[in-house]
Amino acid sequence: MGSNWRWRRWLLVLCTIIVSGGASKPEEPLVTRIAFGSCANQSAPQPIWNAIIDFDPQLFIWLGDNIYGDVRRPFKLFGKERTIGPWKNVPRFVPSSQQEMESRYHKAKTIPGYSRLPQTAKVIGTWDDHDYGLNDAGKEFSRKVNNQRLLLNFLDEPQDSPRRKQEGVYASYIFGPTNRQIKVILLDTRYHRDPLRSDGSVLGSSQWAWLEKELNGPKTTITIIGSSVQVISNLSATTGPLFYLESWGRFPKERNRLFKLILDSKREGIFFISGDVHFGEIYRYDCATGYPLYDVTSSGLSQAVEKAVPGSLSLIVRFVAWLTPTTMRVMNQNCRFRSCTYGQPNFRAIEIDWSTTPVTLKLEVRDVNGYPVTGVKFPLLELQSLSMNSVPSIKLGTHRRHCTLEVNLPWIVRYRLAILFYFSVTGTSYIPLLNY
Ligand SMILES: *[C@@H]1O[C@H](CO)[C@@H](O)[C@H](O)[C@H]1NC(C)=O
Ligand SMILES: *[C@@H]1O[C@H](CO)[C@@H](O)[C@H](O)[C@H]1NC(C)=O
């Protein structure tokens, strides 16, 4: 009996070798549902994870401010530590110690809801300023090397991963079976970034070289480029001089370089995802490459502009959002609010329907209960340009939606927020040019 058994076992092993040698690697599963989000305060309740888990994404992408790692001092005009005003003597944000960062990451990772996500979804991500370690920080920030390790630990990056050896957390992934692949490129907009207002570099030369290779590499049906800060929207152009936000728009030379790289790569099916701003919205720019470039912003999972103000003021926030001139925001009937921005906690749901011809793409911002608050649905064909090399041009002095830059709006439209602010402060009620 013994020898008979041994003989059968050998036969089994032989068969296994033949079968596994003959068949190719098992195909990767088709990816149809991706979620992403940003701006999650580890000390605040994060009920939104229930809605994300209900959506059942196969992939979840962190787009930064995955924790709030720095220390924020209160606004103080007088007293010992003054954070604003002419007598300001301390910065408003300061980095926290390594132990503190580690303990905040630990808190974030064990949040009920989020801690269940990795059981059903692959989780990847990049960072923004607060998890990089300091509000609005760039390449000058000295703790970046250490904090890179902390982020990669949080994301369970393998110890031998090349991502632990490079300068910056940028990375790329390919998911899905042959001919239906999705590439995800995650940028690092912090590690190499020159100071704001310098019009210097956002990505730095090593990351630019890497990105060029990634975009020119093997084609995929869809390519998602994740940037912590917004790529298409340039809110600062219309909210200044009242306030300014971080974005690629603040680095016009780098932004043009990015668009040119995409154009030259002739890569189709690209869209952007972003975070940072504490509200959700969808942008679209038709005049950068041969096809519309979408930028879907989801921010934040817990941090949101309407939550930052007392309840009665949320209507004012919505009014300001509606009043802010925008040439690129997608406005349609799918929005919960007229402004088509959403200032409550939100996440982004991306759905790809591979069964239709052509393939359709649905991009939605969803609220804490999983209901859509703004969204677009279009055939992927829309991102497959027939005239890849022709960037539509518009005549000087004319304005076209999704094409004219905000800085080229007539000044009375461009600055209407500031004008309204001025007149409300000086007590005159006059609202210039509401309908643009
Ligand atoms: C995070 O939440 C805690 C608790 O609600 C709050 O005290 C803290 O100020 C929040 N941090 C930020 C950056 O909003
Ligand atoms: C974005 O707005 C800022 C502030 O007005 C301006 O300096 C910058 O040139 C704008 N960028 C683009 C690409 O229009």
44 CA to middle of ligand 1, Å?
6
Return the amino acid letter for 174.
I
Handedness of CA 152, 157, 160, 165 (dihedral sign): negative
3-state DSSP assignment of residue 183? strand
Question: Whole-angstrom Cα distance, residue 63 to residue 228?
Answer: 5
Determine the Cα–Cα distance for residues 295 and 417; give it in Å rounded to an integer. 24
What residues contact 379, with CB distance under 8 A and at least 6 apart? 356, 358, 359, 360, 361
- What pLDDT does residue 85 have? 82
Q: What is the pLDDT of residue 254?
A: 97
Q: How far apart are CA 199 and CA 184, in angstroms?
A: 27
State if pTM tops 0.75: yes
How many C-alpha atoms does 327 have within 13 Å on its Cβ side? Answer: 23
Structure tokens at 137: 């920080």
SS3 249: helix
Structure tokens at 193: 């970034």
Say how many residues make up the chain. Answer: 436
- Going by alpha carbons, the residue nearest to atom 14 of ligand 1 is 41
| Dist. CA 272–CA 284, nearest whole Å | 10
| Residue 197 CA to its chain's centroid (Å) | 22
pLDDT of residue 424: 82
The protein residue with its alpha carbon nearest to ligand 2, atom 11, reads 249
Q: What is the pLDDT of residue 21?
A: 45
Assess contact for 36 and 296: CB atoms under 8 A: no
Helix (H, G, I), strand (E, B) or coil at 223: strand
Cα 13 to Cα 7: distance, rounded to the nearest angstrom: 10
Closest ligand to residue 255's CA = 2
Quote the ligand 2 centre to 409 CA distance (angstroms).
Answer: 12
What pLDDT is recorded for position 31?
A: 98
* Residue bearing the CA closest to ligand 2, atom 7: 250
pLDDT for residue 22 = 43
Q: How far is the CA of 43 from the centre of ligand 1 (A)?
A: 6
* Predicted pLDDT of residue 311: 83
Using the mean position of ligand 2's atoms as its centre, give its distance from the Cα of residue 259 in Å: 15
Distance (Å, whole) CA 289 – CA 321: 28
- CB burial string 397-413: b at 16+ within 10 A, e below: eeeeebbeebeebeeeb
CA distances to 14, 59, 173 from 181, rounded to whole Å, are: 34, 13, 10
As a whole number of angstroms, the distance between CA 118 and CA 394 comes to 47
Ligand 1 contacts (CB < 6 A) are 41, 43-44, 68, 72, 303
Q: Choose one of 46, 65, 67, 68 to mutate for the ligand 1 pocket test, by most ligand atoms within 8 angstroms of C-beta.
A: 68
- In this structure, are residues 223 and 183 in contact, taking their beta carbons and an 8 Å threshold? yes
Atom from ligand 1 closest to the CA of residue 308: 14
Taking the C-alpha atoms of residue 387 and residue 64, their distance in angstroms, rounded to an integer, is 34
The HSE-up count of residue 365 (CA atoms within 13 Å, CB side) is: 31
Retrieve residue 287's tokens: 């005049």
The answer to whether 206 touches 187, Cβ cutoff 8 Å, is no
Which of 204, 98, 99 is closest to 145 using CA atoms?
Answer: 98
CA-closest residue to ligand 2 atom 12: 249
Tell me if 209 sits within 8 A of 201, measured CB to CB. Answer: no
Q: pLDDT truncated to tens, each residue of the chain (436 aa)?
A: 444 555 565 555 554 445 444 445 678 999 999 999 999 999 999 999 999 999 999 999 999 999 999 999 988 888 888 888 888 899 999 999 999 999 999 999 999 999 999 999 999 999 999 999 999 999 999 999 999 999 999 999 999 999 999 999 999 999 999 999 999 999 999 999 999 999 999 999 999 999 999 999 999 999 999 999 999 999 999 998 998 999 999 999 999 999 999 999 999 999 999 999 999 999 999 999 889 999 999 999 999 999 988 888 899 999 999 999 999 999 999 999 999 999 999 999 999 999 998 899 999 999 999 999 999 999 999 998 755 545 556 565 677 899 999 999 999 999 999 998 888 887 654 444 443 4
Residue 310: C-alpha distances to residues 92, 170, 217, 306 (Å):
22, 38, 49, 8
Q: How far apart are CA 195 and CA 213, in angstroms?
A: 26
pLDDT of residue 156: 97
Task: Point out the ligand nearest to the CA of residue 257.
Answer: 2
C-alpha 187 – ligand 1 centre gap (Å): 27
Give the closest residue (by CA) to ligand 1 atom 12.
41
